[in-house]
Chain A
Amino acid sequence: MKIRAFWNRYSKNKMAVLGLILLTIIFAMALLAPLIAPYSPWRIRVGPTLTPPCPGYPMGTDDLGRDILSQLIWGTRISLVVGFFSAGISTLIGIFIGSMSGYYSGKLDKILMGLAELFLVIPNFVLALTLVALYGSSFYIIILVIGMAGWPSTARLVRGEFLSHRERAYVEGAQSVGLKDREIIFGEILPNTMPPIIVNASIGVARAILIEAGLSFLGAGDPNVVSWGYMLYNAFRFIHQSWWMITLPGLALFATALSLNLIGDGLNDALNPRLKHI
């Protein structure tokens, strides 16, 4: 069974397995949020304001008396949704542009790569910030914006893969049989290039989560959702007094990004086995 063999290779990397466990926990928190969060994250004054962690409020309360634990639990939803959807958008754009570039080459390639260069020259975060400033900070815009900022790296990766696969025998075979370009690109070549794309995507999710957190921290996030970045935005004023307001949401971000990156590394090792020795 291919899956069994894959799992054997993947599980050799202990940290990757840890990452997977961590992500599963985070996913579970997101799914079960309504059931496990002790309070609504929005309700103010569920307890006294600015309380450090204590029996009633395991992670303390913020300046408006909201329960931090509940906010953390509900926040997983936002992070995961933004992360996966943004990464999904940039991966899709990247695949589309990269495959066109790599398969057709020539003028199209030059134009598309020029476009990629344009986006690469503007730092991700600066572009995202500018777009949000111009077009608003609604949740959906943020997902779109982060997705738009990240496609060049995927595109370059896909292009490289396509350039190398294009010359191979099976592609020539497919062309001689009369398959249309579209069928060859998506049906033949693309499935063979999935491993590095998947690895790139998983790292992209982590990156997207951190960008969203950064945007929210600057106040450019959507104030109507519970985002860990937004919690930090709020907590910054209290840096002298309320360590829990700062430490805990940040740890949540750290753990989520870390789990995704560990999984990405694990996938990389599992999909490109290296000859290790005893």
Chain B
Amino acid sequence: MEKELLKVSDLTTHFFMTDGIVHAVDGIDLSIDKNKSVGLVGESGSGKSVTALSILRLVPLPGKTISGSILFKGKDLLKINEDEMRKIRGSNIAMVFQDPFTFLNPIMKVKNQIAEMLITHKTRMNITGKKDVEEHVMSLLNQMRIPSAEAVKEYYPHQLSGGMRQRVVLAIALACNPDMIILDEPTTALDVTTQIQILELLKQLKREKNVTIMLITHNLGIVAELCDKVYIMYAGQIQESGNVYDIFDDPKHPYTSGLIDNVLSIDEYRPVMSYIEGNIPNMMNPPSGCRFHPRCSYTKEICKEKRPGDLQVGDDHFTNCWLYS
């Protein structure tokens, strides 16, 4: 069986605005193996959310993925037609979004929002009838450790707490036993206590289910707890990648070191605070070469011109920095 589930090569997605082009994602490569968790880390504006949307081909206008390939189980998702892609969304690749309040339909009951998943992909799920759907819905709610599931399923989103809503969103995502789920900042909109609960739930799901996880976040704390492999993204480019121990114990890229240094304590789940000098660049007119060069203490002339490409610095540890050439 193929070990690699998702292989993204040279993905480029731009936004064509009236006053310029935003180079949100520029030539990134990702490789995600089956049943592994991969973290995509970066500040806001780094392009990580756009990457997730690109994979699902849900980039909103005026955005467009203009080059690259996304190989999922052998098929290039950028080349298949919309109907095929639609079948993959939700059933093979599911997504969990940041704010469960705004991402749930306010006038639909919880059970119906979950059931909708099952019914849409009913062939894949072998759904035989209403009863089947109801059983699945209850089972999912229980797996998400939602208390009083019988009552909760009749509720509307506004009647639930933040943590419950996120569990519902997770239930929806996992309803069709997808090969992979993409989580975009799943804990950011929640309060600290709930964040911990959801994180525990995610760890449990990772253990119990055979699902590949792609976690997008700026929170290094949950990356440390949940991920096997990490990609560091800055201004639309991947700067470093490696397994989670290498990244945390031995960061190579100056940006990564900057991030790790700023995490005061991993146990505190602090969001990344950038004490790195400067700001993220204007994505309509990004810096040439390595986009981090204006803020980097080790900049050389060549950094302004071009990037070296991925340089191996360890067993499964790569970085795109001239310091290691």
A residues adjacent to B (C-beta < 8 A)? 275-278
Contacts and interface: CB of A to CB of B under 8 A. Distances in A.
A102 B203 CA distance: 51
B218 to A, nearest CB: 26
Interface in B4-18: 16-18
B180 to A, nearest CB: 30
Closest 6 CB pairs of A and B: A277-B62, A278-B16, A277-B16, A276-B18, A277-B61, A277-B17
B125 to A, nearest CB: 38
Nearest to B17: A277
11 contacts: A275-B17, A275-B18, A276-B18, A277-B16, A277-B17, A277-B18, A277-B61, A277-B62, A278-B16, A278-B18, A278-B62
Contacts of A276: 18
Interface of B: 16-18, 61-62
Main secondary structure of the interface of A (DSSP, over half): loop
Nearest to A277: B62
Contacts of B62: 277-278
A278 B61 CA distance: 10
A278 B14 CA distance: 13
Contacts of B61: 277
B66 to A, nearest CB: 14
Contacts of A277: 16-18, 61-62
Given A275-B17, A277-B61, A277-B62, 4 more contacts: A275-B18, A277-B16, A277-B18, A278-B62
B164 to A, nearest CB: 32
A275 B61 CA distance: 11
Nearest to A278: B16
Contacts of B18: 275-278
B52 to A, nearest CB: 21
A277 B61 CA distance: 8
A202 to B, nearest CB: 26
Contacts of A278: 16, 18, 62
Contacts of A275: 17-18
A270 to B, nearest CB: 15
Nearest to B61: A277
A278 B16 CA distance: 7
A77 B155 CA distance: 61
B270 to A, nearest CB: 31
A53 B226 CA distance: 85
Nearest to B16: A278
Contacts of B17: 275, 277
A276 B16 CA distance: 10
A276 B17 CA distance: 7
A153 to B, nearest CB: 28
B60 to A, nearest CB: 10
A272 to B, nearest CB: 15
A123 B176 CA distance: 54
A94 B61 CA distance: 39
A1 to B, nearest CB: 19
A275 B17 CA distance: 8
B19 to A, nearest CB: 10
A141 B62 CA distance: 53
B15 to A, nearest CB: 8
Nearest to A273: B18
A3 B16 CA distance: 27
B147 to A, nearest CB: 39
A254 to B, nearest CB: 34
Nearest to A276: B18
A90 B72 CA distance: 63
A278 B63 CA distance: 11
Contacts of B16: 277-278
A15 B17 CA distance: 24
Q: Which of A275, A276, A277 has the most CB of B within 10 A?
A: A277
Nearest to B63: A277
A275 B19 CA distance: 10
A276 to B, nearest CB: 6
B123 to A, nearest CB: 37
A12 to B, nearest CB: 10
A277 B16 CA distance: 7
A38 B55 CA distance: 71
A275 B62 CA distance: 10
A277 B64 CA distance: 12
B13 to A, nearest CB: 14
A93 B187 CA distance: 51
Nearest to B62: A277
B63 to A, nearest CB: 9
